[in-house]
Amino acid sequence: MAQSQTEDLTLSSAWSGGASPYAMVSKKLGMWLFIVSDSLTFSALLVAYSYVRVANQDWPKPFEWASILGASIMTFCLLSSSLTMVMAVAAAQRLERKKAVVWLLATVLGGLLFILLHAREWIGLIHEGVTPFANPWGVPLFGAAFFTLTGLHMTHVTVGVLYLVVIAWGFGSARFKPEDVEVSGLYWHFVDLVWMFIFPMVYLLSAKTVA
Amino acid sequence: MTEAVHVEPVVHQAPQGFIRKYIFSLDHKVIGIQYYLLALFSVMVGMLLSVLMRFNLAWPGTEVPILETLFPVGAPGGIMTPEFYLSLMTMHGTIMVFFVLTTAPQSGFGNYFLPLQIGAPDMAFPTLNMLSFWITFVSLLVLLAAFVVTGGAPISGWTGYPPLSALGEIAGPGLGTGQTLWVASIALFCVASLLGALNFITTTIDLRTKGMSMMRLPLTVWAWFVTAILALLAFGVLLAAGVLLLLDRVVGTSFFIPAGLVVSDQMINHKGGSPLLWQHLFWFFGHPEVYIAILPGMGVTSQILSTFARKPIFGYRAMAYAIMAIGLVSFIVWGHHMFLSGMSPYSAMVFSLTTTAVAVPSAIKTFNWLGTLWGGRVRFTTAMLFAIGFVSLFVTGGVSGLFLNQPSVDIYLHDTYFVVAHFHMIMGVAAIFGIFAATYYWFPKMFARHLSERLGKIHFWITFVGVYSIFMPMHFLGVMGNPRRYAEFTAFEFLADVVPIHEFISIAAFVTIGAQLLFAVNFFWSIARGKIAEINPWSATTLEWTVPSPPPHDNFGGRAPVVHRGPYEYSVPGASRDFILQSEPEMKVVHQ
Ligand code: HEM
Ligand SMILES: [Cu+2]
Neighbouring residues of B384: CB distance < 8 A, sequence distance ≥ 6:
B304, B305, B308, B378, B437
What distances in angstroms separate CA B164 from CA B257, B263, B517, B560, one per listed residue?
9, 9, 37, 54
Q: For residue B305, which of B117, B487, B567 has the smallest C-alpha distance?
A: B567
Instruction: Please name the residues in contact with B534: beta carbons below 8 A apart, sequence gap of 6 or more.
Output: B444, B549
Residue with CA closest to ligand 1 atom 20:
B423
Phi, psi of B479 (to 5 degrees): -65, -30
Which of A23-27, A161-165, B68-72, B353-357 shows the lowest per-residue confidence on average (mean pLDDT)?
A: A23-27
Angle of helix A26-55 relative to helix B275-309, nearest 10 degrees? 140
pLDDT digits 0-9 by tens, A23-36? 467 899 999 999 99
Using alpha carbons, list the distances in angstroms from residue B586 to B120, B579, B591: 22, 13, 9
Q: How many residues does chain A have?
A: 211
Provide the b/e sequence for B546-562 (b: ≥16 CB within 10 Å). bbebebbbbbbbebbbb
Average pLDDT over chain B, rounded to an integer: 94
Q: What is the pLDDT of residue B18?
A: 81
Candidate from A15, A43, A55 with C-beta closest to B214 = A15
Please give the torsion angle defined by the CA atoms of residues A49, A51, A57 and A58, in that order, rounded to the nearest 10 degrees.
-20
More confident residue, B12 or B59: B59
SS3 B266: strand
Beta partners for A134?
A131
Single-letter amino acid, residue B82: P
Q: Which among B394, B412, B419 is the best mutation to test ligand 1's pocket, defined by most ligand atoms within 8 Å of the CB?
A: B419
For the beta carbon of residue B507, count every other beta carbon within 10 angstroms.
14
Nearest CA, atom 3, ligand 1: B401
CATH of domain B25-259+271-546: 1.20.210.10
Report whether residue B274 contacts ligand 1, using a CB cutoff of 6 Å.
no
Distance CA B486, CA B127 (A): 44
**Other C-beta atoms lying within 10 Å of the C-beta of residue B262:** 8
Shortest Cα distance, chain A CAs vs residue B73, angstroms: 34
For residue B12, what are the CA distances in angstroms to A27, B242, B351, B553, B557?
20, 40, 51, 8, 9
CB B432 less than 6 A from any atom of ligand 1: no
Mean pLDDT, to the nearest integer, of A185-189? 98
Instruction: Decide: residue B592, CB within 10 A, 0-12 exposed, 13-18 middle, 19+ buried.
Output: exposed
Helix axes B177-206, B111-118, angle to 10 degrees: 10
- Residue among B253, B269, B280, B341 with most chain A CBs within 10 A, to mutate: B253
Question: B349: buried, middle or exposed (CB in 10 Å: 19+, 13-18, 0-12)?
Answer: exposed
Say whether pLDDT at B559 is over 90: no
Length of chain B: 592
Provide, rounded to the nearest whole percent, the portion of chain B with pLDDT above 70: 97
3-state per-residue secondary structure call for B154-220 = CCCCCCCCCCCCCCCHHHCCCCCHHHHHHHHHHHHHHHHHHHHHHHHHHHHHHCCCCCCCHHHCCHH
Res B349: pLDDT: 95
Nearest-CA neighbor of A5 among A22, A18, A20, A24?
A18
Cα B394 to averaged position of ligand 1 atoms, centre (Å) = 12
Report which bound ligand comes closest to the CA of B363. Answer: 1
pTM: 0.93
Strand partners, B532: B449
How far away, in angstroms, is B426 Cα from ligand 1 center? 8
Per-residue pLDDT reduced to its tens digit, B451-484: 999 999 999 999 999 999 999 999 999 999 999 9
Of the candidates A192, A181, A125, which has an alpha carbon nearest to the alpha carbon of residue A157? A192
Amino acid letter, A136? P
Contact (Cβ atoms closer than 8 angstroms) between residue A159 and residue A80: no
- Under 8 Å between Cβ of B566 and A17: no
Q: What is the pLDDT of residue A159?
A: 98
Task: Please give the distance, rounded to the nearest whole angstrom, from the Cα atom of residue B520 to the centre of ligand 1.
Answer: 30
Closest-CA residue to B115 (of B104, B126, B105, B101):
B126
Give per-residue pLDDT as tens, B267-311: 998 889 999 999 999 999 999 999 999 999 999 999 999 999 999
Q: Which long-range contacts (CB under 8 A, 24 or more apart) does B366-369 make?
A: B366/B391, B366/B394, B366/B395, B366/B398, B368/B302, B368/B313, B368/B314, B368/B315, B368/B318, B368/B319, B368/B322, B369/B301, B369/B302, B369/B305, B369/B314
The CATH classification number of A25-206 equals 1.20.120.80
Q: In whole angstroms, how far apart are CA B110 and each of A210, B168, B191, B222?
A: 59, 38, 18, 11
Query: What pLDDT shows up at residue B218?
Result: 98
> Using 50, 70 and 90 to split pLDDT, how confident is the model at B587?
low
